[in-house]
Structure 1
Amino acid sequence: MAQEPNDTSIDPLWYKDAIIYELHVKTFYDSDGNGMGDFRGLIEKLDYLQDLGVTAIWLLPFYPSPLRDDGYDIADYFDVNPTFGSLNDFRALLDAAHERNLRVITELVINHTSDQNPWFQKSRRAAAAAAAGAIEPGYGGDIAYKDFYVWSNTPEKYKDARIIFKDFETSNWAWDPVAKAYYWHRFYSHQPDLNFENPAVHDAVEKVCDFWLSMGVDGLRLDAVPYLYEREDSNCENLPETHEYLRKLRAHVDAKFPNRVLLAEANQWPEDAAAYFGKGDESQMSFHFPLMPRMFMALQMEDRFPIIDILEQTPSIPENCQWAMFLRNHDELTLEMVTDEERDYMYRVYATDPHARINLGIRRRLAPLLANSRRKIELLNTLLFSMPGTPIVYYGDEIGMGDNFYLGDRNGCRTPMQWSPDRNAGFSRANPQQLYLPVTIDPEYHYEAVNVENQQKNLSSLLWWTRRVIAMRKNFKAFSRGSLEFLNPDNAKVLAFLRRWENETIVVVANLSRFAQSAELDLSRFAGYVPMEVFSRNLFRPIRKSRYVITLGPHAYYWFALQAPTDARRASKKRVVPTIKAPADLDILLGNSQREQLEREILPNYVRNSRWFGSKARTFRDLKVIEQLAISPDRDGARLLFVEVNYLDAPTETYAIPVKIASGEAARSVSQSASHAIIAHFADTGGAILFDAIWDTTFRSQLFEAIVQRQAIKGQVTDLVGLASDKLEPDHLLASGKSQVFGAEQSNSSMLFDNGFFLKLYRKLEDGVNPDVELNRFLTEHTQFPNVPAFVGALEYRRTKAEPTVVCLLQRA
């Protein structure tokens, strides 16, 4: 069984803060060279998704299927398509994703199945037997499936229900020659609808849920939920019975699998879509379909009205619920939830080529829809990440992939992921003719130009910009949980709104025009506050009682975090020590389930406020623990952490941070003598603290001994090696046991031992020769120069394919 997603410390509302990445397994990476992506290939690319900053993966259907609707025609709910791998491969994917704190959301297509599904085959045989007036030998248990689907002797029922796929279907009924009856289908005729009037169908669906959730899946997307029930004299959508069933399903899932999420796909007007939240007892999430086309409409019209209008029509939702927001996905850009006039306008400006149109929508990716305009792509993504709801990124849109609408159906938006300029875009080693779909070779979006490898090397690329905007969104809960309030400047080409959560206030301003614009914002209630531009951290002029004038370039945007007035900022300058809600145990703290909090909140808080951290003026992106080394075998001993600090505007830096846990009298001693060294408090542990271990006498002695005894300390991927001078004398082999930390720290931390030894811990680590150490060693070992402290030894950090890095220098004072 795959491991559980996480432990009991998980926030049950995790989906509110999520950033979801949508992909089809077959599109992402082919590990075995058969031309089709697979689970093993996806596992190989999880690090890419982690680096992108997303927190959840939404996998399109991967079940056994005839693939006549890209997997949404499911033939078996309890297995995976062998083309993608095995159930064990899927379990391995779950484990690998959870190790990286990535959640996995899969599809639960419950409205319909494939006509190849054994349920349907049994149902049609049972219907035929029943129509013949007898249950013939050989049908066995098939009769139990007779009412699994909606059968009728006439296609005249439910005439008020619309036909969704008008380009492919002329009726919602299809004749079955085996059953000699009509069956109901809301989508393709090869996808018969299940009959939710039958309690046995409810039981079957619950078994499917249990199967995947017990495996460790974190969420289920409920496909096409508005169409579960049928009723005469109605349009067979959004019926009360559907909501009653969803409440039943939600209760079942909550009782057996806490902290899992149901995501409803309801392509409906806001009022109807919001109904799928119920009173917080149906789905926790639901797609906001009507907003998506209006974002494109507002951009083309250069007018904010379509966005404001549809969001003002959107009712408030329960506190434990969240909208799912997106720009593009695996289907066409749907125009079902717009007026006829608006649909004609969208076709006219975004799909002049009739081949780009399908059903009631436009089958194009984000970049081609926006004519590959980098400014427009950034602008719409900025709005996506700042709107109320959880953003969803469609695979490839982070690099601006193109499409090929000549491939038929929606396949033009489902081509292989473009990893490199190599053959098959680095997606597969197969013969190009063997690929499930051809890679994009449109000159403007050719895989040799648009690919991850190229953009990885270019800090100005769309990929790097996407990483930055995701990192910035994750820094502010106002985006994921805050309220929305529109500001209404006189200039309708400028969209401006506030997002507020607790003490966070973000002002979002976007120019929808292709020309420069100015606008006056009424921010008088924030008089005295200073807007800080989130990406650059530059401060703009303070807000006054008068209107705040702002100018924007073509398709420009700003995210401003409003900083408190000067006096309040000064008062809040003192660092607030965070609290860890976990056991006071370094193994747990540095394990997979707790490391995210350590990297995202705890260590950045300490690093930014430490005197030895010299990059305070740079824009912090994130911090990652890349290695931990136990200096002593004692389980409660200190750990030496090596962390990478990534910036938005500068190269990555590596720092050394020794940490230890203290409780009782030891914790009180640190609090009194070195309160600035406290990294975090532990909740409900009797005053235990996590602190910087250079303030621990035992740790200082252990560093000394590691050097003079030439110890080799093994890490997960690195070694720490003690190097002692060739002129080491016997009295150097023992430390006095008494030492103190120098009060003044700059780029390093210094410790003085009572017997005359001086130990320096370099905080910022740089590969290669350390001039300080090299010169000191030469003067000690090869000259009689008496005017420098004698070199005693050093501690080196060694990694594969990298030059050694000096961590500590030991001298005789």
Structure 2
Amino acid sequence: MNTNWNQLHEKVSHHLQAIYADVVTDIAVGDLATRLMEIMRLNSDDDIATPLPHCNHWDEEDIIMITYGDSVIQEQERPLFTLSRFLHTYCKNTINNVHILPFFPYSSDDGFSVIDYSSVNESLGGWEDVERIAADYGLMVDLVINHCSARSVWFDNFIKGDGPGSDFFFTADPSADLTGVTRPRTSPLLRETETANGTQHVWCTFSHDQVDFDFRNPKVLMTFMEIIRQYIDEGAKIFRLDAVAFLWKIIGTSCINLPQTHEVIRLIRTLVEHVNPGIMLITETNIPNRENLTYFGNANEAHAIYNFSLPPLLVNTMVTGNCLYLKNWMMSMPPAQNGTTYFNFIASHDGIGLRPAEGLLSDEELGTLVNTMQHFGGKISWRASENGQQKPYEINITLFDALQGTTKGPDKYQVDRFICAHAIMLGLEGIPGIYIHSLLGTSNDYEKVANTGQNRSINRKRWDYRELEALLDSPYSQHHKVLTRISQLIRIRKAQSAFHPNATQFTLQLGNHLFGYWRQSLDRKQSIFCISNITDEEQSILLSDINLIGTDNWLDLISRDQINSSAGFIQLKPYQTVWISNQDME
């Protein structure tokens, strides 16, 4: 018997014991561990490698573009094929990883109410189209692990009381005290459903079309390991664990961030990294910052966590011209251990989440931010708080329109402000994720909101490829300007060793109108001072404040201007960013 197989089997069994310790069941942990390893094709007669701990399988060249499979469409062409063409035409030297948002058959929530996990939505294409993209880019896929569609075969079988899925769903007694359950939505938690076994009240964290799984049943776990194995076979390298914080439920608790949820993620990591050490897990946990950080575990849980506090704090910084709150948060963030990293983003298919800003922005600051975004055409989605009051959950707006002005109103600096925000994000510790509609400078899509009745549709435009092509080829369009300038920043970033996701980072103290941080490469040879004017007025950087070493030659990597360290200061235009480096790595 293979020694490594035995060691892995013991580790998997340990995870399972921790997960199911409090569940009244006749689970044979050893047999379940064997079955999970068989599903992942980790066989006893194979030479199973032991993954190196605290190993970074990423570097400064990694950039992830976030997109729907049909964000770019052309008549009589499969959208995934069109997406591949767009990538090769406009992203060839910038993007090396692509997150295709759920591309499976679905019934609601633009893909996040999955009907069938094993097939590609026919309206998008087929697995061959996914594999084509995966052949040239690192493929990031969604594992919608908390819930599925109420129109799935599994839920049909639950209603019938027979067949696969008939015991997959979490139910609760409506008379139980559920007041402590954390809710991301205002809809009723329980869905009354008539089944062959009588009236059942099915748990629905998000909507009544999204029915929650019951992971107390090991069959659910085994089924999801089969799904993961299939996606790996189809070319997936990065897994986004959607809404995973809500996975385990215990009546009488908040039903979020429970220990069993963390242990399930550790189990998944253990198994996938033995299949391929380069596979990444990213947890999508739109929760307050302190709780979000726990999903790193001890470099044995998520490889990366969404830096959910960054979008609201950075947008707030750009519209107020004050970086105090962003700076305070940055100083509080622990460096990610090797083997883990942050996933930085400032726009996504969802809105600008406000829960991750709780405790970081005051209620007054949040109120001003919400009012400003509404003035810029944004919508607000709400949640029910612990005391039953409605609170803003997220702002629905494109990032381009969110940065069209300041709290004083719209102004002429929209593009410059937008690029400045991306320059800040691209230099930070972690892997950058850029939403396709940020790459393209897309404005609010009010027509789609009217058609769907969903606030989030405002930031989910479908571009006609030929229309988009004409705009991107026109030097006068906002779309050309944005793509050109962001692409330039990405190309510069990818050449700098100091921008490695795990390179050293320190926050600079330059007052509230200049936001800055210092990055140093892992070999300590390259330093970069990243400084942005986050106001609509010129600002001066006192070079004495950043202590440039006089024996080094300093260069702004963006403008290509030489920096004379003996000069007293340099002047920054409104929303200008400089990346001052002692090495030119291009």
Confirm or deny a common fold (TM above 0.5). yes
Contact 2:441–2:478 (8 Å) recurs in 1: no
Cα-to-partner distance string for 1:567-624 (whole Å, 9 max, x where unaligned):
xxxxxxxxxxxxxxxxxxxxxxxxxxxxxxxxxx9xxxxxxxxxxxxxxxxxx6xxxx
Equivalent residue number for residue 370 of structure 2: 347
Equivalent residue number for residue 364 of structure 1: 397
Equivalent residue number for residue 777 of structure 1: none
Equivalent of 2:533 in 481, 489, 511: 511
Q: Which amino acid aligns with 2:332?
A: Q
Q: Following superposition of structure 1 onto structure 2, how do residues 47-66 of structure 1 map, counting pairs within 5 Å? A: 47-51=88-92, 53-66=94-107
Cα-to-partner distance string for 1:85-106 (whole Å, 9 max, x where unaligned):
22233333333xx2xxx21111
Change (3 A) 1:45 1:399: closer
Change (3 A) 1:50 1:177: same
Q: Which amino acid aligns with 1:188?
A: S
The alignment status of 1:373 with 2:414, answered yes or no, reads yes
Cα-to-partner distance string for 1:737-777 (whole Å, 9 max, x where unaligned):
xxxxxxxxxxxxxxxxxxxxxxxxxxxxxxxxxxxxxxxxx
Equivalent residue number for residue 567 of structure 1: none
Equivalent residue number for residue 142 of structure 2: 107
Cα-to-partner distance string for 1:785-807 (whole Å, 9 max, x where unaligned):
xxxxxxxxxxxxxxxxxxxxxxx
Q: Following superposition of structure 1 onto structure 2, how do residues 90-489 of structure 1 map, counting pairs within 5 Å? A: 90-95=130-135, 98=136, 102-126=137-161, 139=162, 141=163, 145-154=165-174, 156-166=176-186, 169=187, 171-178=188-195, 179-339=198-358, 340-352=363-375, 356-359=379-382, 360-371=393-404, 373-405=414-446, 406-407=449-450, 408-409=453-454, 410-417=456-463, 419-421=465-467, 425=468, 451-455=471-475, 461-480=481-500, 481-489=502-510
Contact 2:554–2:582 (8 Å) recurs in 1: yes
| Counterparts of 1:155 and 1:420, CA distance in 2 | 56
Cα-to-partner distance string for 1:514-571 (whole Å, 9 max, x where unaligned):
1111232433472433321102332111258xxx53321212211100259xxxxxxx
| Counterparts of 1:345 and 1:470, CA distance in 2 | 32
| Counterparts of 1:513 and 1:12, CA distance in 2 | 36
Cα-to-partner distance string for 1:449-496 (whole Å, 9 max, x where unaligned):
xx223249999822211111010000112123311112212x321112
Change (3 A) 1:512 1:175: same
| Counterparts of 1:259 and 1:213, CA distance in 2 | 11
Cα-to-partner distance string for 1:346-382 (whole Å, 9 max, x where unaligned):
1121213786222322211111111171110111011
Change (3 A) 1:527 1:301: same
| Counterparts of 2:476 and 2:76, CA distance in 1 | 25
What is the Cα deviation at residue 300 of structure 1?
1.9
| Counterparts of 1:374 and 1:457, CA distance in 2 | 11
Change (3 A) 1:262 1:550: same
Change (3 A) 1:163 1:214: same
| Counterparts of 1:209 and 1:323, CA distance in 2 | 22
User: Which has more radius of gyration?
Assistant: 1
Equivalent residue number for residue 436 of structure 1: none
SS of corresponding position for 2:347: coil
What is the Cα deviation at residue 44 of structure 1?
2.2
The alignment status of 1:496 with 2:516, answered yes or no, reads yes
What is the Cα deviation at residue 186 of structure 1?
1.0
Equivalent of 2:65 in 15, 18, 21: 21
Q: Which amino acid aligns with 1:273?
A: N
Q: Which amino acid aligns with 2:503?
A: G
- After TM superposition, the runs of 4+ consecutive aligned structure 1 residues lying more than 6 A away are 456-460
Change (3 A) 1:455 1:393: farther
What is the Cα deviation at residue 276 of structure 1?
1.1
The alignment status of 1:40 with 2:40, answered yes or no, reads no
What is the Cα deviation at residue 163 of structure 1?
2.4
**Unpaired segments ≥5 residues, structure 1:** 1-7, 127-138, 427-447, 565-600, 602-619, 621-813
SS of corresponding position for 1:337: helix
| Counterparts of 2:72 and 2:496, CA distance in 1 | 30
Change (3 A) 1:157 1:229: farther
Equivalent residue number for residue 791 of structure 1: none
Equivalent residue number for residue 20 of structure 2: none
Cα-to-partner distance string for 1:10-33 (whole Å, 9 max, x where unaligned):
x96126641111110122223525
Change (3 A) 1:328 1:298: same
Equivalent residue number for residue 72 of structure 1: 112
SS of corresponding position for 2:115: coil
| Counterparts of 2:475 and 2:57, CA distance in 1 | 34
| Counterparts of 1:114 and 1:222, CA distance in 2 | 17
Contact 2:441–2:479 (8 Å) recurs in 1: no
| Counterparts of 2:464 and 2:126, CA distance in 1 | 25
| Counterparts of 1:57 and 1:268, CA distance in 2 | 24
Moved more, 242-251 or 457-466: 457-466
Cα-to-partner distance string for 1:667-709 (whole Å, 9 max, x where unaligned):
xxxxxxxxxxxxxxxxxxxxxxxxxxxxxxxxxxxxxxxxxxx
What is the Cα deviation at residue 342 of structure 1?
3.1
| CA-based RMSD | 2.5
What is the Cα deviation at residue 312 of structure 1?
2.4
Equivalent of 2:580 in 531, 550, 560: 560
Percent identical pairs in the alignment equals 21
Contact 1:530–1:543 (8 Å) recurs in 2: no
Contact 1:270–1:315 (8 Å) recurs in 2: no
What is the Cα deviation at residue 294 of structure 1?
0.5
Cα-to-partner distance string for 1:280-304 (whole Å, 9 max, x where unaligned):
1111111010121000111222111
Q: Which amino acid aligns with 1:531?
A: W
How many pairs align? 500
Contact 1:155–1:173 (8 Å) recurs in 2: no
SS of corresponding position for 1:397: helix
Equivalent residue number for residue 123 of structure 2: 83
Q: Which amino acid aligns with 1:462?
A: V
| Counterparts of 1:552 and 1:122, CA distance in 2 | 63
Change (3 A) 1:517 1:160: same
What is the Cα deviation at residue 155 of structure 1?
5.3
Equivalent residue number for residue 555 of structure 2: 532
Cα-to-partner distance string for 1:641-677 (whole Å, 9 max, x where unaligned):
xxxxxxxxxxxxxxxxxxxxxxxxxxxxxxxxxxxxx
Contact 1:531–1:543 (8 Å) recurs in 2: no
What is the Cα deviation at residue 81 of structure 1?
0.8
What is the Cα deviation at residue 184 of structure 1?
0.6
Larger RCO (CA within 8 A; separation ≥ 6): 2
Please, what TM-score do these two structures have when normalized by structure 1?
0.58
Contact 2:378–2:397 (8 Å) recurs in 1: no
| Counterparts of 1:247 and 1:30, CA distance in 2 | 42
Equivalent residue number for residue 3 of structure 2: none
